[in-house]
Structure 1
């Protein structure tokens, strides 16, 4: 039978057509709930492509997000910002004008939006050849949609190292380059003590010392559902955290982001909070549980009060790990960046790869020296 691709303009339509049947139970960022959240944050309407045999339920799916110069300049989403970030990080000169937004944008970003994780969903049946055929059809459909919308490029920015999608993209003429290393903390045994045993002795003693220091700080810790009532307390801490790392977030933007999380993630969204003796919130982390996996999402701190207390490690690592023991969680997702910190707390890193196709082949050729420089400087994933 012939493979047919159907394209939908809303997640509600894609969901009715069978999206939920393809989204892995453990994956957050390609779930219908999360993509519905993203659909409300993006400035241009997304598209949802589903492929399968004609007249049958879909066997593969791919989300696509059109982005232009007015889209949020997030470096893990907009390809011009992604390449500029990599060029700056590795000290690689970019060819004159090759990274100008008008050369690369509008662009069609495939996978999820604003998160360094790219999946093309496929059913767990049908055989390798059948899945490969559906994958090829979906990539072709994404390119056709991009051309129809006037995009200059198509990007898959964070494809997993072992993902067979990589071969399909290479065969279709996409330029490949390493983009990031994705951190995951695997918890083979439940309980915080079992986690401690996975760490080297020196690190284990440091963690015990950090927790002893926090136990004597007078802070009260709690983990519970993140509801709308908590948002006004969280936003000021998120603004302070963003400012520390050079991000100028507004109260309105962060409030809306959290409200969307509450609406679309519901009871799977939790907050880990730390309050001083006077009841004032001094730090928090937010995470979403998806089946047996936790996804750390937001964090914030009262740095004026905090001093040198190691509250970050408690809220990002230790409390979520304790929560995991009673929730059937076997992995905590930490995304990208801050690699040494995550490695020091037991995470493993997986290399992710970007794929870029410019419809103007001469402009793609102009980028090749930069992409080759990124390939040369990137080291293999730590084991």
Structure 2
């Protein structure tokens, strides 16, 4: 096995990378990582493990210069940790992470490939006088990774996704308790009767409106945000993601008043953002419809089998059929 470090993911063949990341999810996909790699708050190296000419394992390694997101600051996530320079291994945005190892490897070769990635992260951290961490590691990857690192994981949060059985919204409803089915039908009916004009748009078509509504959501939760700054982020995201983001939007009198932004990766719809003009809403369960029910409709129409919802608001998600699983922090091995 040969380890190399590559500074630019566009120099790595997308199909070879995504053969590893398909099961790990959208936030470790080649396209998403390429869209993130010019973030000035970190320097990235891509650890690549080859067996002859085949890429068999990989991980982005971010040398963090400054971290604007407190949910990626280790010393704030784990109060017993003092502030220190950090090398974040794996995904740095999206709150879903796992080392990328080819699924066809034997158990022995898989272990060796994973050990090589862990050693690469620890060696880079030592060279940078930093500590290596893997954050938001999925529950199905944590035991193997913790064993390779020789460290104990700490649970950070929980991840939620809704499995979508069958082929129609009625199949989704059938998997829920009868009282919940009644509630969802009532919420869907109230939203339909509210008379919104519904549009499905590319992110590039509506980034300014999306940014304004996302800023209002942030402000409502105590995080004042400049709408122009948010709009610029969405314009950049649309460009970086080749405009693959889809926006489900509710309009009234020509104004967007609510939206959800999502991406389809493999067989999963990944919810990325939502926002609302609270002065124009009609008290018609807009959040539940834009975040759950309309994306479920879209998923069935486009052959997806899962709706990924991420962290927070777990009760609302589980009441609507989501399965929650732990997300973990794993300290890297000592170099």
Give per-residue Cα distances to partners, 1:309-366, cap 9 Å, x unaligned. Answer: 3100010001111111110010011111111010011100112221124869xxxxxx
TM-score with structure 2 setting the length: 0.93
Secondary structure, aligned partner of 2:26: coil
Q: How far 1:252 moved relative to its partner?
A: 4.0
1:219-238 aligned within 5 A: 219-227=196-204, 229-238=205-214
Contact 1:61 1:120 in 2 (8 A): yes
Gaps of at least 5 residues in structure 1 are 84-93, 361-383
Shift of residue 16, structure 1, vs aligned partner: 7.2
Residue aligning to 1:179: 156
Alignment pair present for 1:270 and 2:270: no
How many residue pairs get matched? 335
| Residues 67-106 of structure 1: pairs in structure 2 closer than 5 A | 67-68=64-65, 70-75=66-71, 77-83=72-78, 94=79, 98-101=80-83, 105-106=84-85
Question: Partners of 1:109 and 1:62 in 2: how far apart?
Answer: 10
Matches for 1:355-366 after TM superposition, within 5 Å: 355-357=330-332
Alpha carbons of 1:314 and 1:16: their partners in 2 closer, same or farther (altered >3 Å)? closer
Runs of 4+ in 1 over 6 A off after TM superposition: none
Whole-Å separation in 2 of the counterparts to 1:217 and 1:20: 42
Are 1:109 and 2:88 an aligned pair?
A: yes
State the Cα RMSD in Å.
2.1
Q: How big is the shift at 1:116?
A: 1.3
Q: SS state of the match for residue 242, structure 2?
A: helix
For 1:292 and 1:26, the matched residues in 2 are separated by 12
1:324 paired residue among 299, 312, 333? 299
Cα distance between partner residues in 1 of 2:107 and 2:162: 30
SS at match of 1:207: helix
What is the TM-score normalised by the length of structure 1?
A: 0.82
Deviations 1:255-282 (A, max 9, x none): 2321232123235310000011x11111
Measured against aligned partners, the alpha-carbon deviations of 1:34-61 in whole angstroms (never above 9, x if no partner) come to 00122123512111001123x4222100
Distance 2:244 2:207 in 1: 16
Measured in 2, the distance between the counterparts of 1:17 and 1:290 equals 14
Task: Provide the residue aligned with 1:162 in structure 2.
Answer: 140
Distance 1:166 1:216 in 2: 49
Aligned to 1:282: 257
**Contact 1:25–1:290 at 8 Å: present in 2 too?**
no
- After superposition, residues 1-383 of structure 1 pair within 5 angstroms as 3-15=1-13, 18-24=16-22, 27-53=25-51, 55-68=52-65, 70-75=66-71, 77-83=72-78, 94=79, 98-101=80-83, 105-151=84-130, 153-163=131-141, 166-227=143-204, 229-276=205-252, 278-306=253-281, 308-357=283-332
Conserved? CA contact 1:14–1:48, under 8 Å: no
Q: What SS is found at the alignment partner of 2:312?
A: coil
Q: Tell me the distance in 2 between the aligned counterparts of 1:188 and 1:28.
A: 21
